[in-house]
């Protein structure tokens, strides 16, 4: 297969993006941050992932495929690889110059229960506990059929990735999880760049065509059956016919208009999302009569840098960090679900807080290297020095850390009843602080699907030939997503979309 290569070299992402057709900017960090490639670059460096990505030359575009997959994030690439495994001839169409979407930005990891890696680490977990934790996190508003399918297929998704050379065997805690369940690359690096690199490598090895700069503008339907899409490729409009269409265009966390329409109270919030998260798939599916659910359920993440939307991964708290207010005091259980921690921060008079951690934690959570590169980490050789740096009372911060280390030692947090992520104290110099506040992070609502990933209309009937997976779908997370469940969602339901779309194409065309 003839290819052109967009080299995404670590530490030169802005140059690489401009070579791939993104307008160049004077500010390399802005470019990198808005597309998520900075995270990828630093992750590549940490995890040893490959340094180049390959896309299909536009001249090779055909006018018909068995399965057309719209969007090259994690769900889209998982769907494509699975469809190919099932014997289909799939294609992936991506509107941005690079694959990855929000998936590239994902930092914490992927939740899964009853995995071989949990067993190897003597972590006791069960699909039922995973189900219960997720239901509790979503305050019982989750779509229970989707949730059951999800937990029961999570270990298999970890194995499927591992068989493709994407090994997530380093397990930690995430907010709302009662046991260690969030799976990360071996070296503790951010999951996103490593996952996208691995999926893209497998897309390439399987010779699945993947076209970038290809905006899907409409989903076509004839006689009640979806049969292709309209695209705009470098300014040229074309029709691509399909045996089935799988839509994996992600959420709408970067679409201010849609955010305000569904949640006027979130106007002006900073967003952690990729610029491609504009809700296109949801809008196109609504035009076909597709049903949406939970559109007002938008997750705000508690730990976001306000100047540019950089997310500070939950891993930092999962590895033991605490949150303090401007008085230098803890004010909430840091491992509570995201909605509650966000609310606790917004309730502070200053509406912001500091994550506090030590050098041993920075070693365990490789993401911290990236945050240091971004210049958002304050440090001090002693707790007193750190307190001075961030203008907090030295005595109070010292007292807070002493109390916390005692709570870790006794495994008893009398102040806020935190029960998880208390395996390590915070005693290794230097000490660090990152100033954070809540930001828009994940759109939990979206199009309604069943466990076969068929898109449902207003009467709960499947729209023939149309499948959807990933952040553009709604229901799984209910009104609050547990950290680590979105990456699991895109692999589990992305694969299912690949399988079911292939089956439909084979049986109906």
Ligand X SMILES: Cc1cc2nc3c(=O)[nH]c(=O)nc-3n(C[C@H](O)[C@H](O)[C@H](O)COP(=O)(O)OP(=O)(O)OC[C@H]3O[C@@H](n4cnc5c(N)ncnc54)[C@H](O)[C@@H]3O)c2cc1C
The footprint of ligand X (CB under 6 A) covers 70-76, 93-96, 100-103, 105-110, 191, 215-216, 248-250, 272-274, 276-277, 280, 311, 442, 470-471, 483-487, 490
Question: Residue 415 CB, nearest distance to ligand X (Å)?
Answer: 27
Backbone phi and psi for residue 310, each to the nearest 5 degrees, phi listed first: -65, 130
Q: Is the dihedral of CA 407, 411, 415, 419 positive or negative?
A: positive
User: Which of 84/301 has CB closer to ligand X?
Assistant: 301
Q: How far is the CB of 246 from ligand X (least distance, A)?
A: 11
Annotated catalytic residue: which of 317, 338, 364, 481? 338
| Neighbour count for residue 259 (Cβ, 10 Å) | 23
Taking the complex as a whole, the smallest distance from the CB of residue 39 to ligand X amounts, in Å, to 7
> CB–CB of 285/447 below 8 Å?
yes
Q: Which is nearer to ligand X, 70 or 392 (CB)?
A: 70
* Distance separating alpha carbons of residues 264 and 308, to the nearest angstrom: 21
**Whole-angstrom distance, CA of residue 364 vs CA of residue 503:** 43
Residue with the closest Cβ to ligand X?
73
The phi-psi region of residue 475 (left if phi > 0; otherwise alpha if psi is between -120 and 50; otherwise beta) is left
Q: Which is nearer to ligand X, 273 or 337 (CB)?
A: 273
CA gap 77, 254 in Å, rounded: 21
- The span from the CA of 372 to the CA of 29, in Å, is 13
Q: How far is the CB of 40 from ligand X (least distance, A)?
A: 12
Determine whether 429 is an active site residue. Answer: no
Residues 338/481, Cβ–Cβ less than 8 Å: yes
Question: Quick one: 272 or 337, whose CB is closer to ligand X?
Answer: 272
- The residues near 498 (Cβ < 8 Å, ≥ 6 apart) are 67, 69, 78, 79, 80, 81, 82, 83, 84, 85, 86, 88, 90, 246
Would you say 285 or 433 has its CB closer to ligand X? Answer: 285
- Least distance in angstroms from the C-beta of 100 to ligand X: 6
CA neighbor of 376 nearest in space, from 38, 133, 9, 143? 38
Least distance to ligand X from the beta carbon of 192, Å?
Answer: 6
- b/e per residue, 444-478, with b = 16+ CB within 10 A? bbbbbbbbbbbbbeeeeebbbbbbbbbbbbbbbbb
Residues with catalytic annotation?
338
């Amino acid at each position: 297969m003839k290819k052109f290569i967009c080299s995404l070299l670590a530490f030169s992402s802005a140059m690489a993006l401009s070579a791939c057709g993104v307008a160049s900017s004077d500010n390399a960090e802005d470019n990198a941050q808005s597309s998520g490639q900075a995270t990828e670059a630093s992750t590549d460096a940490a995890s040893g992932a490959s340094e180049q990505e390959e896309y299909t030359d536009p001249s090779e575009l055909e006018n018909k495929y068995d399965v057309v997959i719209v969007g090259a994030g994690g769900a889209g690439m998982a769907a494509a690889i699975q469809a190919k495994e099932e014997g289909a001839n799939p294609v992936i169409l991506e509107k941005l110059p690079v694959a990855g979407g929000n998936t590239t930005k994902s930092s914490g990891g992927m939740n899964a229960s009853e995995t071989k890696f949990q067993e190897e680490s003597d972590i006791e977990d069960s699909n039922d506990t995973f189900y219960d934790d997720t239901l509790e996190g979503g305050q019982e508003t989750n779509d229970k059929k989707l949730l059951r399918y999800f937990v029961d297929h999570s270990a298999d998704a970890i194995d499927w990735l591992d068989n493709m050379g994407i090994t997530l065997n380093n397990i930690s805690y995430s907010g709302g999880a009662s046991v260690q369940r969030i799976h990360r690359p071996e070296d503790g690096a951010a999951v996103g760049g490593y996952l996208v690199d691995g999926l893209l490598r497998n897309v390439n090895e399987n010779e699945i065509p993947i076209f970038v700069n290809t905006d899907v503008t409409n989903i076509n339907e004839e006689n009640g059956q979806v049969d292709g899409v309209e695209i705009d490729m470098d300014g040229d409009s074309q029709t691509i016919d399909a045996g089935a269409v799988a839509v994996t265009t992600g959420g709408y966390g970067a679409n201010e208009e849609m955010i305000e329409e569904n949640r006027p109270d979130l106007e002006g919030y900073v967003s952690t999302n990729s610029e491609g998260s504009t809700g296109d798939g949801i809008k196109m599916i609504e035009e076909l009569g597709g049903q949406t659910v939970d559109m007002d359920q938008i997750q705000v993440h508690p730990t976001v840098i306000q100047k540019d939307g950089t997310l500070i991964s939950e891993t930092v708290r999962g590895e033991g960090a605490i949150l303090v207010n401007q008085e230098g005091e803890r004010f909430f259980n840091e491992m509570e679900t995201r909605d509650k921690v966000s609310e606790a921060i917004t309730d502070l008079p200053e509406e912001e807080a500091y994550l506090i951690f030590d050098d041993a934690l920075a070693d365990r959570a490789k993401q911290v290297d990236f945050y240091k590169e971004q210049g958002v980490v304050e440090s001090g050789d002693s707790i007193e020095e750190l307190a001075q740096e961030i203008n907090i009372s030295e005595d109070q911060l010292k007292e807070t850390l002493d109390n916390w280390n005692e709570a870790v030692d006794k495994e008893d947090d009398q102040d806020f009843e935190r029960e998880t992520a208390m395996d390590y104290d915070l005693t290794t110099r230097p000490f660090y602080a990152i100033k954070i506040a809540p930001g828009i992070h994940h759109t939990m609502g979206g199009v309604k699907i069943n466990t076969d990933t068929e898109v449902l209309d207003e009467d709960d009937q499947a729209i023939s030939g149309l499948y959807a997976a990933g952040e553009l779908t709604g229901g799984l997370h209910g009104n609050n997503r547990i950290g680590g469940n979105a990456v699991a969602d895109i692999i589990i339901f992305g694969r299912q979309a690949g399988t079911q779309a292939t089956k439909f194409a084979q049986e109906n065309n």
